[in-house]
Homo-oligomer: A and B are copies of this chain.
């Protein structure tokens, strides 16, 4: 126990200890994720085909099943140095408050203006767009974390940034919209009348508040219909998980530096970008038979793709313009209750995370939102950081596991991903504090109804 005192509250790597390569866990997977399918032909997409939508370098990365490490270009490493390394924090105060023998660590990705880990991939995608000589990129955003991250990245490289923002967030969460404008991005509430798919959705569902799946369709259409533009996405895709591996690689280096072996690794899971990035080097060790970890994906009970979805091919977007992916899905038409706060609202799950889950390398569990906010408040009061609702899903399970250790007396090392801060989610906190927050769990019928529309493939 003498080493304990030597572990600082925050482990910061030196600049020269930061990763210079991203890790692609697919290279070590025996069962590769099923290929993306062309929505027209239902055949596996080629790099050429998806290069109409994504930048070329990113398209290659997207389909690469064999390259384990990708060099991080110097320009991106320099940008990373502006806000990375992120600290791996020893949660001394939370441990004390829980009176647990467990040691709790969290990798905190919120110390940048986007407020989350999303910047790690945004800067990579902007870099390759710039390198390809593009004018700009298009994307969608829900509450605005991804859009903010991309706005910052585009501003850095002098690219035009067009963001389709889910209408309800555009209207009700103006602050993140203004942050994006500060970075020079153009924001359009979605569904808009500027795209064909937007006009169609508006006609079909007049007065709709919009959804992420629908904003994706608009952003893709905007990308392919403008000269010099490509589409970029903040989660789900393999390329995003590759970029986000910087989280896991830093975490691993920091743990190794102090001789700490993680027992349990916990991440919240929406599309899988943070979870996939955090766990990939650890999952890699498991796949190579070098080590063993308990890995837990935590999703909201209101949008339970891993725990209650089906592992099938499905559309990634409502407008059905994107390639199909094999993934745990609730059906591309699934809409979580509007009373559900924060992100983690996506109907599907990264195909890498899906395959690892199908192969039993990771567990999944779901938690309800009032419980999540209870733990968010406890975390804020003990650790100081006001966590994002998304991150608080991971906090919730970390606390549960730490309390189990208290019962058993085990001193486990629990590591979780604290993806971001909740500064732009104060309405949700307010409804929790006022006691008006509701839980919502879809019925089996809701899910079956949505899954009935999943395309028949194979």
Residues on A lying within 8 angstroms of B by beta carbon are: 8-10, 12, 14-15, 78, 81-83, 92-93, 111-113, 115, 152, 155-156, 174-175, 178-179, 181-184, 377, 380-386, 421, 423-424, 426-427, 429-430, 433
Contact = CB atoms under 8 A, between A and B. Distances in A.
A159 to B, nearest CB: 12
B82 A8 contact: no
A81 B9 contact: yes
Contact of A423 (B93, B377, B381, B424): B424
Nearest to A108: B111
B113 A8 contact: no
Given A112-B385, A182-B380, 9 more contacts: A8-B14, A9-B78, A78-B92, A82-B384, A152-B384, A181-B433, A182-B386, A423-B423, A423-B424
A113 B12 contact: no
A179 B381 CA distance: 11
Contacts of A174: 426, 430
Contacts of A380: 113, 182-183
Contact of A113 (B175, B184, B385, B424): B385
A381 B156 contact: yes
A156 B111 CA distance: 21
A115 B433 CA distance: 21
A82 B182 contact: no
Looking at A15, A182, A377, the one whose CB has the most chain B CB atoms below 10 A away is A182
A427 B179 CA distance: 10
3 A-B pairs with least C-beta separation:
A9-B81, A175-B426, A178-B426
A67 to B, nearest CB: 29
A418 to B, nearest CB: 12
8 contacts: A9-B81, A113-B386, A115-B423, A152-B384, A175-B423, A178-B430, A182-B377, A182-B380
B113 A82 contact: no
A13 to B, nearest CB: 10
B381 A183 contact: yes
A307 B82 CA distance: 35
Given A15-B8, A182-B386, A155 B381 contact: yes
Contact of A82 (B9, B15, B183, B386): B9
B385 A179 contact: no
Looking at A113, A175, A183, A384, the one whose CB has the most chain B CB atoms below 10 A away is A384
A373 B83 CA distance: 22
A9 B415 CA distance: 27
Contacts of A181: 429-430, 433
A429 B178 contact: yes
A380 to B, nearest CB: 6
Contact of A182 (B15, B92, B184, B433): B433
A113 B377 CA distance: 13
A10 B81 contact: yes
A424 B430 CA distance: 15
Given A113-B421, A426-B174, A433-B178, A82 B383 contact: yes
Nearest to A430: B178
A93 B83 CA distance: 12
